[in-house]
Amino acid sequence: MSRIEACFAQLKQQNRAALVTFVTSGDPNYSSAMQIFKGLPDAGADVIELGMPFTDPMADGPAIQLANQRALKNGHTLRKTLQMVREFRQDNQSTPVVLMGYFNPIHHYGVDNFVRDAHEVGVDGLIVVDVPPEHNEELCEPAQAAGIDFIRLATPTTDDQRLPKVLNHSSGFIYYVSVAGITGGATASLEHVEEAVARLRHHSDLPVCIGFGIRTAEHAANVARLADGVVVGSALVDKINQAATPEQAVADVLAQCREISTGVRGARL
């Protein structure tokens, strides 16, 4: 059983949803990003998505675009992202780590080299938003052959005809983008979330995690009652954008994670 499977199985026994957190690797700098990364599990994160900085993150809103720019300006690379996972695994062998981003840096690194190195340092899953299922052989199949889950995004515009193809060879969990648009934007109604979860469960047995626009403990709790996981990203990255110092960024991100975790963990009590 993979770390992702084990995590969701354990949470199902506890009758609660997962808190899936997103931060950009190398933001605001390597040292502070590492402190945030290592601190997230104790702050309540069950799964950590680690963004791979890229110059053109077209699916992301202003907050995460700025995070990418800060990391790249400080010389962060995909190799350094993998090094962060290696350091994280020295102290934590249980929390699933998913790398999220775009195909260009992976292509530049070399797919075979990337898959080998990602597996070696302890990466559990990949979310690569610009590799469609028609190109599974490019990355999805090599990753899964190495034991790394390939997690697909589904959106409000993914209809029932398209959905089976999107979920083909998907593994780990389904990331449902609850609104059409970029990260950090509007929020979906709970009625829409409930309908979407039911539709996705009709097509797949994988856990369903809901993301985009979740910013408060109350909102996270409401979504956690309907889905298997709640994804929070921009709300955390915003704390880095707003912090006066890297030290404040670390403290504020972890405090925000703890607050949202309280909502998720109390949702089904």
SS (H, E, C) 213-230: CCCCHHHHHHHHCCCCEE
Please tell me the predicted confidence (pLDDT) of residue 56.
87
Q: How far apart are CA 102 and CA 54, in angstroms?
A: 7
Provide the sign of the torsion angle of the four alpha carbons 138, 155, 218, 190, taken in this order: negative
Q: Could you tell me the residue range of the domain that residue 133 belongs to?
A: 3-265
CA Rg, the chain, in Å?
A: 17
Coil, helix or strand for 49? Answer: strand
Instruction: Read off the pTM.
Output: 0.94
Instruction: Please write the tens of the pLDDT for every residue from 64-75.
Output: 999 999 999 999
Residue 220 token pair = 């996270």
Query: Which residues pair with residue 210 across a beta bridge?
Result: 176, 230
Q: How far apart are CA 35 and CA 144, in angstroms?
A: 29
Please tell me the predicted confidence (pLDDT) of residue 188.
60
Please tell me the predicted confidence (pLDDT) of residue 192.
84
Please tell me the predicted confidence (pLDDT) of residue 183.
52
Closest CA to 20 of 174, 185, 137: 174
pLDDT tens string, the chain, 269 residues long: the values are 899 999 999 999 999 999 999 999 999 999 999 999 999 999 999 999 999 999 988 877 788 999 999 999 999 999 999 999 999 999 999 999 999 999 999 999 999 999 999 999 999 999 999 999 999 999 999 999 999 999 999 988 888 899 999 998 899 999 998 765 545 455 667 888 899 899 999 999 999 999 988 999 999 999 999 999 999 999 999 999 999 999 999 999 999 999 999 999 998 87
Which H or E run includes 174? strand 174-177
Sequence-distant (6+) residues with CB within 8 A of 191 are: none
Sequence-distant (6+) residues with CB within 8 A of 154 are: 163, 166, 167, 174, 175, 176, 177, 196, 200
Instruction: Please write the tens of the pLDDT for every residue from 192-216.
Output: 889 989 999 999 999 999 998 899 9
For residue 7, the domain's CATH number is: 3.20.20.70
The total number of structural domains in the chain stands at 1
Active-site residue list? 49, 60
Q: What are phi and psi of 122, to 5 degrees?
A: 110, 25
Instruction: Kindly report the number of other CB atoms within 10 A of residue 94's CB atom.
Output: 11
